[in-house]
Amino acid sequence: GDSVTQMEGPVTLSEEAFLTINCTYTATGYPSLFWYVQYPGEGLQLLLKATKADDKGSNKGFEATYRKETTSFHLEKGSVQVSDSAVYFCALRQQGEGSEKLVFGKGTKLTVNP
């Protein structure tokens, strides 16, 4: 079945450091790929998404590129802030109407220190 593997955390960085959180997937066909963020005490929020190969999703300084050849969707940010401290989840969803099931990775906790 479909699955998502993301790097284990926790990840601790200093403010303004470069961030990469790796995510790879196993799926049939051409799924849509997502990054969700969960801030302390809150629900998951969609951070960015990409629906086809070579698409780049971006939001709030975060980017991820859909790489079909490496089945990856790594999350990057050039300069993290303390406010980016959260848990980040990579996820996939199969294409097509009615294909609503999201498959999540285990999440990566990021802590950014001032």
Using CB under 8 A as the binding rule, whether residue 106 contacts other proteins is answered as yes
Number of C-beta neighbours around residue 96 at 10 A: 11
Using CB under 8 A as the binding rule, whether residue 89 contacts other proteins is answered as yes
Return d(Cα 65, Cα 55) in angstroms, integer.
6
Closer residue to other proteins (CB): 68 or 106: 106
Residue count, binding to other proteins (CB under 8 A): 18
Q: For residue 77, give the DSSP letter.
A: E
Q: How far is the CB of 11 from other proteins (least distance, A)?
A: 14
**Residue that the structure tokens 């990566």 belong to:** 108
User: What tokens were used for 63?
Assistant: 């980017």
Type of residue at 43? G
Using CB under 8 A as the binding rule, whether residue 104 contacts other proteins is answered as yes
Binding site for other proteins (CB under 8 A): 4, 36, 41-46, 89, 93, 97, 100-102, 104-107
